[in-house]
A and B are shown apart, each in its own frame.
Chain A
Amino acid sequence: MSEERFDCIIVGAGPAGSAAALTLARAGLEVLVIERGLQAGSKNMTGGRLYAHALQKIIPNFWEEAPVERRVVKETITMITPSGSVSLDYKSQRYNQEPYHSFTVLRAQFDQWLATKAEEAGAVIATGVRVDDLLRDDQGKIIGVIAGEDQMLANVVIAADGVNSLLAQKAGLRGELKDIHVATGVKEVIELPRQVIEDRFQLTGEEGAAQLFVGRCTQGIQGGGFLYTNKNTISIGLVITSGAIGKSKIKIADLIEEFKTHPNIAPLVTGGKVVEYSAHLVPEGGLNMLPALYTDGLLIAGDAAGLVLNTGYMVRGMDLAIYSGIAAAQTVIKAKEKEDYSKTSLSHYQELLKNSFVMKDLETYKNAPAFMEQTTRIFTTYPQLADNILYKLFTVYGTPAQHLLPMVMGELKKNNISIFDLVKDGIKGVRAL
């Protein structure tokens, strides 16, 4: 065992780990980050959009140097059916102004850059090393980590090891993940000439588009699709509740191929060349799946703690990961001042999160997961209903026209939906989202 003891060992060089490392190193603490990938980012994947506010706190105007792809100025929500789609499109010039609101990113590059920032500030980053276990003293307090034959000591360990956090489990903070509390994300990165992307999505220069889909893309299974434009690539994929896939007897690997060939999606990606296929879990239980976030000598941050918001029209994990990393680091800095790394001392972390957007937003959307799980009509009936109504509204075949109200009532009836259902789902939805 090496005699060196770090102030803090961070496991995982994703956004949570690197944000924590940067904050600690700047405060002059001895930090070691351990990452199993050959490089930071080489194991990581995301849908694609980073909300800027959290990173902006520690690296002002980061977009001037960070490998961001495009700034998102266009949002589209699409209900998709076998024969068509109904979209709500929003484009705002306000998103074109500094400080920018959100960017599309590719994690292999982005994570590596953020880890380098932490390194420049003084953190030591050890890549290509898998942490196997936590090291404990006689009293069971966590005092470091074990990787293969090596043991490394620290006053505090921050587990920023992502959604499959084996460390949070080993620390006894959480049990096995439940299949209804996580979603499986699959994604393809498709290369296309820059100009083609800008023309197809009506973007200029650095502008980017974000698009979310619900309905046919998952064949009615709980989940949705996403599409983000990068500089010369498009990130396209699906996020589907893991527990629902097995029951559906539909292979998620097939669904993404179907999705790409849908008549309304195919023109967006045609001519492109797939350059990567990836998969990753997303925590989606929200507030109801949060484990205890700390114990003696250990804090958990980011996906490891389940800090993700999935509201159906947005997936947010990276800004929560970054902020929780910062908060964990601030807690360690305070603990060092007091030389107290006990559970009581580390409870400061909970306070910091509670007073921040992290817990406030999780609280706001705490009913969203249950709403989506119970209201399966969102994934099946409603997209078709919207398609049928608009089809009738826009179609003229010389057959007798119908007034809007009886036509809509007729469609509801055909789909076995009462006005009561509609109002009930609407109210529940408005309350949960």
Chain B
Amino acid sequence: MKKLSIEERLGFNKFNVDDDEAHITINKEICRTCTEKPCLYACPALLYNLNEAGEMTFDYAGCLECGTCRVVCQKQGAIQWNYPRGTFGVQFRYG
């Protein structure tokens, strides 16, 4: 079976993105001091990425709401994590 890109995979899901409120935010200043950056490997939606300047970028659209980033991040205060507001976010049709 063909390997799928993360964009293809997230494309199968139904999302109701909350444009007014980010449920997860990161503090880029703290990320700069983080050497291991486990979020890069552990986020199943690959929402944590480094840009060309080597700076951490994050986009909450496409979040599967698993909580992994919150658990693997060892730098206190780097991630503000919450569930999306009621009705928003991913909506599993199979689960």
Tell whether, in the assembled complex, residue A260 and residue B1 are in contact, meaning their CB atoms are under 8 Å apart: yes
Complex formed: what's the CA distance from A128 to B84 in Å?
A: 10
Interface status of A44 (Cβ within 8 A of chain B): yes
Chain B interface mostly helix, strand, loop or mixed?
Answer: loop
Tell whether, in the assembled complex, residue B86 and residue A45 are in contact, meaning their CB atoms are under 8 Å apart: no
Interface status of A388 (Cβ within 8 A of chain B): no
Tell whether, in the assembled complex, residue A107 and residue B44 are in contact, meaning their CB atoms are under 8 Å apart: no
Q: Encode B23-48 as 1/0 by CB contact (under 8 A) with A.
A: 00000000000001111111111100
Tell whether, in the assembled complex, residue B83 and residue A276 are in contact, meaning their CB atoms are under 8 Å apart: no
Which residue of B9, B42, B64, B89 contacts A242 across the interface (Cβ within 8 Å)?
B42
Q: Which residues in A have their C-beta under 8 angstroms from that of B41? A: 245-246, 248-252
Tell whether, in the assembled complex, residue A147 and residue B42 are in contact, meaning their CB atoms are under 8 Å apart: no
Q: Which residue of A lies closest to B67 (CB)?
A: A164
Q: Which residues in A have their C-beta under 8 angstroms from that of B1? A: 190, 260-261, 266, 269-270, 272
Interface status of A233 (Cβ within 8 A of chain B): yes
Complex formed: what's the CA distance from A107 to B92 in Å?
A: 9
Tell whether, in the assembled complex, residue A280 and residue B83 are in contact, meaning their CB atoms are under 8 Å apart: no
Q: Which residues in B have their C-beta under 8 angstroms from that of A147? A: 86
Complex formed: what's the CA distance from A258 to B90 in Å?
A: 24
Q: Which residue of B lies closest to A41 (CB)?
A: B95
Most buried by B among A37, A178, A185: A37
Complex formed: what's the CA distance from A247 to B42 in Å?
A: 9
Q: Which residues in B have their C-beta under 8 angstroms from that of A36? A: 83-84, 86-87
Q: Which residues in B have their C-beta under 8 angstroms from that of A340? A: none
Tell whether, in the assembled complex, residue B93 and residue A276 are in contact, meaning their CB atoms are under 8 Å apart: yes
A residues 295-351 touching B (CB-CB < 8 Å): none
Q: Which residue of B lies closest to A180 (CB)?
A: B71
Tell whether, in the assembled complex, residue A43 and residue B89 are in contact, meaning their CB atoms are under 8 Å apart: yes
Also in contact, A247 and B92, with CB within 8 A (given A179-B71, A277-B12): no
Nearest CB of chain B from residue A5's CB, rounded to whole Å: 22
Chain B contact residue count (CB 8 A cutoff): 42
Most buried by B among A42, A107, A248: A42
Interface status of B50 (Cβ within 8 A of chain A): no
Tell whether, in the assembled complex, residue A257 and residue B91 are in contact, meaning their CB atoms are under 8 Å apart: no
Also in contact, A246 and B4, with CB within 8 A (given A111-B95, A166-B82): no
Also in contact, A184 and B68, with CB within 8 A (given A246-B36, A261-B3, A270-B1): yes
Nearest CB of chain B from residue A101's CB, rounded to whole Å: 22
Tell whether, in the assembled complex, residue A108 and residue B12 are in contact, meaning their CB atoms are under 8 Å apart: no
Which residue of A42, A253, A261 contacts B44 across the interface (Cβ within 8 Å)?
A253
Also in contact, A179 and B72, with CB within 8 A (given A257-B4, A260-B1, A277-B10): yes
Nearest CB of chain A from residue B66's CB, rounded to whole Å: 4
Interface status of A404 (Cβ within 8 A of chain B): no
Complex formed: what's the CA distance from A177 to B71 in Å?
A: 6
Which residue of A41, A178, A245, A274 contacts B42 across the interface (Cβ within 8 Å)?
A245
Tell whether, in the assembled complex, residue A274 and residue B72 are in contact, meaning their CB atoms are under 8 Å apart: no
Q: Which residue of A lies closest to B36 (CB)?
A: A246
Q: Which residues in A have their C-beta under 8 angstroms from that of B71? A: 176-179, 182, 242-243, 281
Interface status of A88 (Cβ within 8 A of chain B): no
Nearest CB of chain B from residue A197's CB, rounded to whole Å: 15
Complex formed: what's the CA distance from A130 to B43 in Å?
A: 23
Complex formed: what's the CA distance from A110 to B95 in Å?
A: 9
Nearest CB of chain B from residue A384's CB, rounded to whole Å: 24
Q: Can you list the 8 inter-chain pairs with the closest CB atoms, starting with the nearest? A: A246-B38, A107-B95, A279-B44, A277-B9, A128-B87, A164-B67, A279-B66, A108-B95
Interface residues of B (CB under 8 A from A): 1-4, 6, 9-10, 12-13, 16, 36-46, 64-68, 70-72, 82-87, 89-95
Besides A185-B66, A190-B1, A261-B2, 13 more A-B contacts (Cβ < 8 Å) are A42-B95, A109-B95, A130-B85, A179-B72, A242-B72, A245-B38, A245-B72, A248-B41, A253-B6, A275-B93, A277-B10, A278-B94, A281-B66
Listed by A's residue number, 19 A-B pairs whose Cβ atoms lie within 8 Å are A41-B92, A109-B95, A147-B86, A179-B38, A179-B72, A184-B66, A246-B36, A246-B38, A246-B72, A247-B38, A251-B41, A253-B45, A253-B46, A257-B3, A261-B2, A274-B4, A274-B9, A277-B64, A279-B45
Interface residues of A (CB under 8 A from B): 36-38, 41-46, 106-111, 127-130, 147-148, 163-164, 166, 176-179, 182, 184-186, 188-190, 233, 235, 242-243, 245-253, 257-258, 260-261, 266, 269-270, 272, 274-281
